[in-house]
Amino acid sequence: MLPLENTSPAHICPYDQACSYLEQAAKELKLDQGILEVLSNPSKVITVSIPIKRDDGQVQILVGHRVQHSNILGPCKGGIRYHPAVTLREVSALAMLMTWKCALLGIPYGGAKGGIAIDPKRYSAGELERITRRFTSELMKDIGPNVDIPAPDMGTSAREMAWMMDTYSVNVGHAVPGMVTGKPISIGGSRGRDMATGRGVMIIVREALKDKGKSLEGVRVAIQGFGNVGGAAALLLHQAGAKVIAVSSGAGGVYSESGLDIPALKAYATGNRKSVVGFPEAKPISNSELLTLSCDVLIPAALENQITEENVNQVQAQIIAEAANGPVTLQANLSLESRGVTVLPDILANAGGVVVSYLEWVQGLSYVFWDEERVNREMEHLMVQAYRQVIEQSKKGQSSLRLASYSLGVGRVAQALTDRGLYP
């Protein structure tokens, strides 16, 4: 395994957990040890120094990471994260997960991830632009439409992707819309991208309920996280007839047994610094309390390691859809499975974003752009197809949905590595 420093603030290391899932899949697939060694280690780890001048004239040195886990199936793909908890080990874990996610969805990408350990709220727009442009400049030799395609992640948005695209394009001398995804539509972004991950979550939950003989109508849902993913999932589920009884943002959440008015809540959060706290038509609830509410579907859409051995026995939901990356720990997942709880794993449930990123990349390379209806239709097809394949694999191997998902993703990358062989 990659000898990275363990600087994760959580007591459960995301990189070790990612490797554990890989090893389980490798055992299920009976992979050759040599192939497992290749898949266990990122192909390239890039750490750069980012000197920037603050608005007050002071110079600050930041550190940026970009990890490219695999390019076996195609160019690397993954987000750029601005968050105080970013570490090289965390980024490496997320890059590995992205490899399996892309393979599972049948997308010709390998996984990557990048980030800078900053709190973007403490920087002005001008400072963030200088940080983003310098970071892009330092990565010039290692990113591009055929090499590694960044996208927004926690703490970044279409704005940062526009700065990255412009910096890259200026350096190569012409516009390159395919070098990032998640861009503004005005410069080659895709319609439907802003709602894509949340829409994918809704689709996978819908399919899981269908397998249980239910529909979204009247289903009671709790969502931890009301950002781009959680907010979109809440709105789409609400529109489909589900009863969203609780949501939370960083400082806390709100609860209503009769169901929240999601459009009104989104409007409130927009005017309240993106926080749902204080919404007058609901009762206050903490993030930890939300996870243990009596509900049909629980959607953790915030950070990793939210459902652990410490609180798993209090979780009451019968379906958990991992909209965040790694919100359920390995041991907690085993406990949930033993109780018959359906856990829809992150590499499946939150894959809508990378699917539409792939569709944006295809549009950018061809300079032919689609309407939102076609984007949503293409995305839904790939999501439903992947879900059905996971269900079939689970039944065939009598395994959990997580192991089935990883077995499919890892197996496809392993097969491609075997077919390509090792150079030289």
- Give just the sign of the alpha carbon dihedral 351, 353, 355, 357: negative
Count of CB atoms situated within 10 Å of the CB of 16: 14
Strands annotated E in 153-226: 220-224
Q: Tell me, rounded to whole angstroms, the distance of Cα 33 from its chain centroid.
A: 29
Let me know: does 237 contact 244? Beta carbons within 8 Å: yes
Of residues 407, 402, 392, the one with CA closest to residue 345: 402
Let me know: does 247 contact 230? Beta carbons within 8 Å: yes
Residue 235 DSSP SS3:
helix
**Cα gap 225→275, rounded to integer Å:** 10
Q: Is 113 in the active site?
A: yes
Let me know: does 77 contact 151? Beta carbons within 8 Å: yes
DSSP secondary structure of 18-33? HHHHHHHHHHHHT--H
Task: At 162, list the tokens.
Answer: 């526009």
Of residues 68, 69, 50, 70, the one with CA closest to residue 60: 50
**Cα gap 273→118, rounded to integer Å:** 19
Q: Tell me, rounded to whole angstroms, the distance of Cα 374 from its chain centroid.
A: 22
Of residues 285, 274, 304, the one with CA closest to residue 245: 285
Which of 77, 101, 113, 183 is catalytic? The answer is 113
- The amino acid present at 316, given as its one-letter code, is Q
Q: Tell me, rounded to whole angstroms, the distance of Cα 194 from its chain centroid.
A: 13
Q: Tell me, rounded to whole angstroms, the distance of Cα 353 from its chain centroid.
A: 7
Q: Which residues pair with 321 in a beta bridge?
A: 344
Q: Which residues are catalytic?
A: 113
